[in-house]
Chains A and B, each alone.
Chain A
Amino acid sequence: GNSVTQMEGPVTLSEEAFLTINCTYTATGYPSLFWYVQYPGEGLQLLLKATKADDKGSNKGFEATYRKETTSFHLEKGSVQVSDSAVYFCALSDSNTGNQFYFGTGTSLTVIP
């Protein structure tokens, strides 16, 4: 079946630190992979996505590369800011299973000045 496993939090970093949030997946077909972000008091919004192997999604300084060989889609940012404090969700969509989205449990990030 399909599933997403992401690094448990919470994660606390100092401003300008390097961020990695690990995400691995299992899928029956050829999934598309996503990172969604939920800022405090707001709804989930798409941060970035990749639709095939070796694609790199990027947005707002965040990057993630679709690695089929390691079934991973780790989220990285070189220098985090206080405004990046949020909960991050890794997700996949697999057309083999009716387009249902599978989300990880979320990783809470707090960036301190």
Chain B
Amino acid sequence: GAGVSQSPSNKVTEKGKDVELRCDPISGHTALYWYRQSLGQGLEFLIYFQGNSAPDKSGLPSDRFSAERTGGSVSTLTIQRTQQEDSAVYLCASSLGPYGEQFFGPGTRLTVL
């Protein structure tokens, strides 16, 4: 597709379950970012991938959060043993390279009951 896509668009899960969120960046974009947007909050940086370099994981809030990017393209954000405070919109963005304009996906709204 022409833009960044994310799936699912909505996810409702029970506390303690694991979830996987998927991001398909724009083809050719080497940089990929994950953010979390909680109600009334700004965008919280989670993790950044740039090409084949080691990802910048400095924003991950706990060791329950992890992400991988396979083949330099699709990325999966995994949240283990979800908690209610994990409820938020998870946004993915990609850019041609570092410093470039970020193109955002529509987000995945996660609700943990």
Which residues of A pack against B, CB within 8 Å?
Answer: 4, 32, 34, 36, 42-46, 49, 89, 91, 93, 95, 98-106
Which residues of B pack against A, CB within 8 Å?
Answer: 4, 31, 33, 35, 40-43, 45, 48, 50, 56, 58-59, 91, 93, 98-99, 101-107
Residues of A within 8 A of B45 (CB): 100-103
Residues of A within 8 A of B56 (CB): 98-100
Q: Does the CB pair A105–B41 fall under 8 Å?
A: yes
Q: Does the CB pair B107–A43 fall under 8 Å?
A: yes
C-alpha spacing A44/B101, complex, angstroms = 11
Instruction: Jot down 8 A-B pairs with beta carbons below 8 A, ordered by A.
Output: A32-B99, A36-B104, A43-B107, A46-B102, A89-B42, A98-B56, A100-B56, A105-B41
Q: Does the CB pair B99–A99 fall under 8 Å?
A: yes
Q: Does the CB pair B33–A101 fall under 8 Å?
A: yes
Q: Pick the contact of A43 from B31, B48, B106 — CB < 8 Å?
A: B106
C-alpha spacing A34/B103, complex, angstroms = 13
Residues of B within 8 A of A105 (CB): 40-42
Q: Known pairs A43-B104, A44-B102; list 7 more (Cβ under 8 Å).
A: A43-B4, A46-B103, A98-B56, A99-B31, A104-B42, A105-B40, A106-B43
C-alpha spacing A44/B93, complex, angstroms = 9
Q: Does the CB pair B107–A89 fall under 8 Å?
A: no
Residues of B within 8 A of A93 (CB): 99
6 interchain residue pairs of minimum CB distance? A105-B42, A103-B43, A99-B98, A44-B104, A43-B104, A103-B42
Task: Return A88 CB to nearest CB of chain B, in Å.
Answer: 11
Closest to B97 in A: A99
Residues of B within 8 A of A104 (CB): 42
C-alpha spacing A93/B42, complex, angstroms = 15
C-alpha spacing A89/B35, complex, angstroms = 14
Residues of A within 8 A of B98 (CB): 95, 99
Q: Does the CB pair B48–A44 fall under 8 Å?
A: no
C-alpha spacing A44/B48, complex, angstroms = 17
Q: Does the CB pair B101–A49 fall under 8 Å?
A: yes
Residues of A within 8 A of B40 (CB): 105
Closest to B102 in A: A101
